[in-house]
Amino acid sequence: MTQQDDVPSDGTGPGNYQPGYFETRLAPNPARSDIWRHLGGYFQRWFGPDSAVLELGAGWCDFSNAITAGRVVAMDLDDTVRRNAAPQVEAVVGDCTDLSRFEEDSFDVVFASNLLEHLERADTNRLVDGVLRVLRPGGRLILMQPNFRLAPRRYFDDYTHVAIFTDQSLSDYLTSRGLRVELVKPRFMPLTMKSSGARLSFLVPWYLASPIKPLAGQMLVVASRPKE
């Protein structure tokens, strides 16, 4: 595993989340890997086994560890990413709003789950502009995150949420930054998998395929860098 750091390995640098965040909002969950095994298989339709894939805000590396690609890079501010990346995954500890370490046109897909709602707009602009630079023409940005339209009462239960997005506003925003929106699923997954329902991970394939989405609170938006 290749490790690249912008922060000290002792956990004292600026690359750490607010104290206790991983212990509360992202506490270990034994069902997580099973859920993401199904999700990884679902997302695999947008890239092939030889593709180069970058995950931003990777955290526990759930997505990166669950997919098959020629190159997989998992990047996060917190060094949790370094401890949890599978051997075939490149772990990068650094700021996802600064993708200058990566060459232009170097990735076929950039993926992020539950990330943009944590960023101020200026930071989001830098992130999306960086994504456009590192994506190859025709490459895709895949975003899975809370949909405020579906979960207004619980959206700010996460104390690090600072930005509001709905399926409409996120689509419009990505278009305004130069991306071409290909797919919008307003109802994609439940808002959180921390409940007892997480033990029913074997139902995830049914949930993904079903037109009925009980408890849905997260959306999926897929956009691409124009080829011209």
Domain ranges for the chain, please list them: 3-224
Note the pLDDT of residue 27.
56
Q: What is the model's pTM?
A: 0.87
CATH number at 3-224: 3.40.50.150
- Residues 215 and 53: their CA atoms lie apart, in Å, by 30
Structure tokens at 223: 């956009």
- Residues 87 and 129: their CA atoms lie apart, in Å, by 30
Note the pLDDT of residue 13.
40
Instruction: Mark the ranges of the chain whose per-residue pLDDT is less than 50.
Output: 1-4, 6-17, 196
Residue spans of beta strands (DSSP E) within 42-131? 52-56, 71-76, 89-93, 107-113
- Residues 38 and 206: their CA atoms lie apart, in Å, by 10
Note the pLDDT of residue 159.
84
Note the pLDDT of residue 43.
97
Note the pLDDT of residue 203.
84
Note the pLDDT of residue 200.
62
Exposure letters 57-85 (e unless 16+ CB within 10 A, then b): bbbbbbbbbbbebeebbbbbbbbbbbebb
Note the pLDDT of residue 202.
78
Say if residues 157 and 195 touch (Cβ distance below 8 Å): no
- Indicate the DSSP class of residue 117: G
Note the pLDDT of residue 147.
96
Note the pLDDT of residue 196.
45
> 52-56 and 216-224 as β-strands: parallel, antiparallel, unpaired?
unpaired
SS3 63: helix
Burial (CB count within 10 angstroms: exposed 0-12, middle 13-18, buried 19+), residue 188: buried
